[in-house]
Structure 1
Amino acid sequence: MSNTTLKYENLWHSLVADKVKFSAIDQDQICDVCIVGAGFTGLSAAIHLAEQGKSVVLLEAHHIAYGGSGRNVGLVNAGTWNKPDFMVDILGKEMGESLISALGEAPALVFSLIHKYQIDAQQMQVGTLHMAHSEKGIPELEDRYEQLTRRGVNVELLKGAEIEEYSGSKQIPAALLDHRAGTVNPYAYATGLAKAAATLGVKVYEKSPVSSVNCLKKGEWEISVLQHKIKAEKVIIATNAYAEGDLESYRQSVYSGGYYQVASKPLTDDAGKTVLPYKQGSWDTRMVLSSIRLDKENRLVLGSMGFAHNKPAWYLKSWADRIQQHYFPQLGKKVEWEYSWCGRIGFTDNHTPKIIEPAEGLIAAIGYNGRGITTGTMIGKLFADYFTADTPPEIPIPFFSSIDASKCNYRQGKSLFIETGFTLYHLGQCLKVIR
């Protein structure tokens, strides 16, 4: 195991030289739409509203992409965690197929925004690999392949020499290559969206926590932030699993789980060039999945479910060593781990997002289940269209009329249960009890 000091620091931030900064709100405002939360959902909604001529105030309690948007793996995935047929089973054929289609097109929306606004998101539009961690994982991929190809999706099931070529590992017997997808530096993507929003006239404020949101009368909302008031016709709550203060009640709709990542120093030798040579981001079929990707400087970035801030560095490094040496033994035992960071995922019981519309003119989205880049960008656009179109579009996501109606039962117990399970599973990997 390497003796390199592991920094508890977000790698994605270090790879963005031109960090965007906005001031805190310093005066009262009047706007068409006020958005709370400057992650993928809020930023996408702000851009699409501004493109349609609406005046927008965007409020962030901390800094741009403070929450899951700046901390995640950076996989620009198509679809949800659920298999397509299961989505139809739980949502019905019409809504299920509509959501499958919308999320299938979401990566293209992400990359189109990057192109349109010339964002340096460190993007690699080369697809993603869902990899079988052993022979036991192959049926899972075969089932997904059948369901996706039945719907005309451009995916390939790789096996044999082909998967070794793509992954750089002899331990992976099969993988599903999704050509719609890719990777980004999520923080770079989010800060690029913020710059684009500002150029479109969106008033963006950081370090501006909202203390209350109240309806004064139909079509008039008052948002209190610091010592100031914002009057808006409509409000979007885009805080997902990071809602705070007066808005923390929205988190009752999900239970939280952590996701941590560990990044190496750049792989510079010939062995390093064999790892994911075509730069696809990937994740495996383990019970508690591992994500595997490279950053723009060829660091190996590994991730899995669970929180990192409550675990010692030796634990995280031991886990990373175990995953690296299992999949990529050609790198030897001298990989140096440099960064570690963690984010929070909002889970729903059926791994499907929720829309909460407690009153006319107020709407919120929550529960992206680890698919925030594409889901958030898509929902942000849908919300913009929902508030501006003469005939609002149908949003293929379950709507709830109140927080109570969308409430996740036993959420704290579920969070504790899964975190305990993740910790024990990873400890088993470190001890080589679990393969």
Structure 2
Amino acid sequence: MARAVEQNLWQETETIGFSAPELCERTTADVVIIGGGYTGLSAALHLAEAGADVCVLEAGQVGAGGSGRSVGLVNSGLWLPPDDVEKQLGAQPGRKLNQVLADAPELVFDLIDKYDIPCDAVQQGTLHCAVGARGMKDLQSRYRQRRERGAVVSLLDADETARRTGTGAYAGALFDPRAGTIQPKSYVAGLARAATKLGVRVYEQSPAVALSRAGNGWEVRTPTASVSANTVIQATNAYSRWGAHDFPYTPVCFFQMATAPIPASMRNRILPRGEGCWDTGLVMTSFRVDAAGRLLIGGVGDLDNMGGGTHSAWARRKVAQLFPGLAGTDFEHAWTGRIAMSRDHLPKITNLGERGLAIYGFSGRGIGPGTAFGKALADWVATGDEGALPLPVQSPMSDPLSRIKAPYFEAGATLFHAVDARRSGFTAVEAREGAVADRRPVNPGRVSNETSGRH
């Protein structure tokens, strides 16, 4: 499908219709937040609940960056397994972050209920699907680590995974009932609406072009105005734009394509319970069904780059591999977003100066972590205690290779999708090989006791 312009399903189906004016004059606030996505608006909302005077500057429209382009999976945890988080951060800080992330989906769904946000919220869990025997071993380890931390997750065998997903392509899956799916653009618009009702001033089309100390506080300048505040929070993640505060992450593109609503006869077989899915593939595949019954499939890559045609061809092939009854189905929507991939795959909280923090590096996990980090930032503002934050604050870092890595991610994803699109039946064959490796039904107790390694 050739695209003259981007067709972002979430932008087109968001019904809240939030809009805000451009900042056109000098103003003041207790806190100025740069970035109108999950993190910035969660922080603004929780600060407003505590009575703070808050100003949010958004370069485009609320949710125009990654928050309005994500898959819409409300996950617990990060890409990294809990053991690795604690190994990298240390036992106590790692346990703290793991707990914050484990609780994040409940925070998201509680906010949706509290502020009546119409965002197609479905808390029916997520399925992390195993590609072959290697993927199943990975999930067995992830299952063990989560169970050790009290999570009521389940490890599914190939047959149960096929019943849940509608495809026999996977060797098994890790089911997390805490998680779920949302319409991400509607969620972020709902956060903005709730925040403004509590007095937050949100300004769209107001990019921050300079940040500096001003007396005992901060001044943030836009092209036409400025905000002076005691505290500044930069929450632009993969969409930071400027100079000294353009942080060391690798911008990785992730695209999605969506069909028209699939026939009812197939809708009853493809993810009938409404879980969101992603897999353990070398280059990850995500798939889910939205409230209207559209099938969405996504992967690493930029549809607007030279490899866009390869990514689109792969998506068509992947749909046919996973769901043969949908072979030949066209896509009506296609769009790309950016992920801020940190070098160690951990989020970062960076010190900008006195009462100034920046948050970035969610590495593709924005909804739950961003919402939770936003709440923690509000607690930090209220108390001045860095112990309220999920992570230790770091000094500004540099990684001159971070942006150079981006073309390699894109090239690798394009090569993988070019090869994968030509390997007919590859996914199903690999999955069945993994199932044959252990044909016995998975016993969660046995898995928990016998497996080790990555989460």
Do Structure 1 and Structure 2 share a fold, with TM-score over 0.5? yes
CA distance in 2, matches of 1:321, 1:94: 45
Map 1:127-146 → 2, pairs under 5 A: 127-146=125-144
Query: Is the contact made by 1:31 and 1:230 (CA closer than 8 Å) also made in structure 2?
Result: yes
Q: Determine the structure 2 residue equivalent to 1:229.
A: 226
Query: Is the contact made by 1:76 and 1:183 (CA closer than 8 Å) also made in structure 2?
Result: yes
**1:176 counterpart (174, 177, 198):** 174
Map 1:263-282 → 2, pairs under 5 A: 263-282=258-277
- Amino acid paired to 1:53: G
**2:330 counterpart (327, 336, 349):** 336
**1:115 counterpart (103, 113, 126):** 113
- 1:133 is displaced (CA, Å) by 2.1
2:206 is the counterpart of 1:208: yes
Q: Determine the structure 2 residue equivalent to 1:95.
A: 93
Q: How many residues align?
A: 426
**1:305 counterpart (296, 300, 303):** 300
- Amino acid paired to 2:273: Y
**2:412 counterpart (418, 421, 424):** 421
- 1:4 is displaced (CA, Å) by 8.9
Runs of 4+ in structure 1 deviating by more than 6 angstroms, as ranges, are: 3-7
- 1:314 is displaced (CA, Å) by 4.6
Identity, % of aligned positions: 37
1:13-58 C-alpha deviation (Å, 9 max, x unpaired): 1111332111101222111001111000110010010000000011
Query: Is the contact made by 1:252 and 1:411 (CA closer than 8 Å) also made in structure 2?
Result: no
Q: Determine the structure 1 residue equivalent to 2:439.
A: none
Query: Structure 2 vs 1, CA of residues 390 and 415 (structure 1 numbering), >3 Å: closer, same or farther?
Result: closer
Query: Structure 2 vs 1, CA of residues 4 and 417 (structure 1 numbering), >3 Å: closer, same or farther?
Result: closer
1:162-204 C-alpha deviation (Å, 9 max, x unpaired): 2121111112120000011001111010001010011000011
CA distance in 2, matches of 1:372, 1:300: 21
**2:372 counterpart (372, 378, 386):** 378
Query: Is the contact made by 1:7 and 1:340 (CA closer than 8 Å) also made in structure 2?
Result: no
CA distance in 1, matches of 2:243, 2:42: 22
1:91-150 C-alpha deviation (Å, 9 max, x unpaired): 110011111110000011111111110000111111000001223311011010011101
- 1:316 is displaced (CA, Å) by 3.7
CA distance in 2, matches of 1:248, 1:266: 44
Query: Structure 2 vs 1, CA of residues 50 and 132 (structure 1 numbering), >3 Å: closer, same or farther?
Result: same
2:111 is the counterpart of 1:125: no
CA distance in 1, matches of 2:203, 2:269: 44
1:352-382 C-alpha deviation (Å, 9 max, x unpaired): 0011112111111010100011111111111
1:206-253 C-alpha deviation (Å, 9 max, x unpaired): 0111221111222x2122223323221111111111012xx3443332
**2:146 counterpart (145, 148, 151):** 148
- Aligned residue for 2:405, secondary structure, equals helix
- 1:6 is displaced (CA, Å) by 8.7
Q: Determine the structure 1 residue equivalent to 2:36.
A: 38
2:62 is the counterpart of 1:68: no
- Amino acid paired to 1:355: I
- 1:390 is displaced (CA, Å) by 6.1
1:248-290 C-alpha deviation (Å, 9 max, x unpaired): 4433321111000111111024123211111100001100000
Query: Is the contact made by 2:35 and 2:235 (CA closer than 8 Å) also made in structure 1?
Result: yes
- Aligned residue for 2:261, secondary structure, equals coil
Query: Structure 2 vs 1, CA of residues 44 and 248 (structure 1 numbering), >3 Å: closer, same or farther?
Result: farther
Query: Is the contact made by 1:24 and 1:205 (CA closer than 8 Å) also made in structure 2?
Result: yes
Query: Is the contact made by 1:385 and 1:392 (CA closer than 8 Å) also made in structure 2?
Result: no
Flag structure 2 segments of 5+ consecutive residues without an equivalent: 428-455
Q: Determine the structure 1 residue equivalent to 2:197.
A: 199
Q: Determine the structure 1 residue equivalent to 2:434.
A: none
CA distance in 1, matches of 2:253, 2:308: 16
2:339 is the counterpart of 1:345: yes
- Aligned residue for 2:374, secondary structure, equals helix
- 1:391 is displaced (CA, Å) by 4.5
CA distance in 1, matches of 2:228, 2:5: 43
- Amino acid paired to 2:413: F
TM-score w.r.t. length of structure 2 = 0.90
2:421 is the counterpart of 1:430: yes
- Aligned residue for 2:357, secondary structure, equals strand
Query: Is the contact made by 2:75 and 2:126 (CA closer than 8 Å) also made in structure 1?
Result: yes
Q: Determine the structure 1 residue equivalent to 2:356.
A: 362
CA distance in 1, matches of 2:417, 2:243: 30
CA distance in 2, matches of 1:345, 1:192: 22
